[in-house]
């Protein structure tokens, strides 16, 4: 089971927070073919003043870290991002 950490700048998720975390979990579980009923997704909301971001990034800058065992799922790593994009697009 991957350990997923989501970090956002500010509190822009508001009412969509749970749906966003579920979308992240679903994309990772689907891509890595892990049990869907074992989510481990954590969220940290940083105060905007405590988070420097690249100038090219928007105000809703989001960092997603996925920790897995070394050597596992190497071929699937690049497809996680595209899976998450389609899951989170309604948010």
pLDDT for res 79: 59
3-state secondary structure 1-53: CCEEEEEEECCCCHHHHHHHHHHHHHHHHHHHCCCCCCCCEEEEEECHHHCCC
32 has a pLDDT exceeding 60: yes
pLDDT for res 38: 77
Domain boundaries, the chain: 3-88
Scored b (16 or more CB within 10 A) or e, 16-38 reads ebeebbebbbbbbbebbebeeee
Q: What is the pTM of this model?
A: 0.72
CA–CA separation, 56 and 47 (whole Å): 19
- What is the tens place of the pLDDT at every residue in 43-78? 999 998 998 888 898 889 999 999 886 655 555 555
- What is the tens place of the pLDDT at every residue in 10-20? 999 999 999 99
At the top level of CATH, the class of 3-88 is alpha beta
């Amino acid at each position: 089971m991957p350990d997923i950490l989501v970090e956002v700048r500010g509190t822009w998720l508001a009412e969509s927070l749970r749906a966003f975390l579920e979308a992240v979990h679903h994309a990772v579980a689907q891509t890595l073919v892990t049990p869907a009923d074992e989510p481990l997704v954590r969220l940290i909301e940083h105060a905007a003043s405590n988070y420097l971001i690249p100038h090219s990034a928007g105000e809703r800058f989001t960092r997603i870290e996925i920790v897995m065992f070394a050597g596992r799922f190497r071929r699937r790593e690049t497809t996680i991002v595209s899976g998450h994009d389609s899951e989170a697009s309604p948010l």
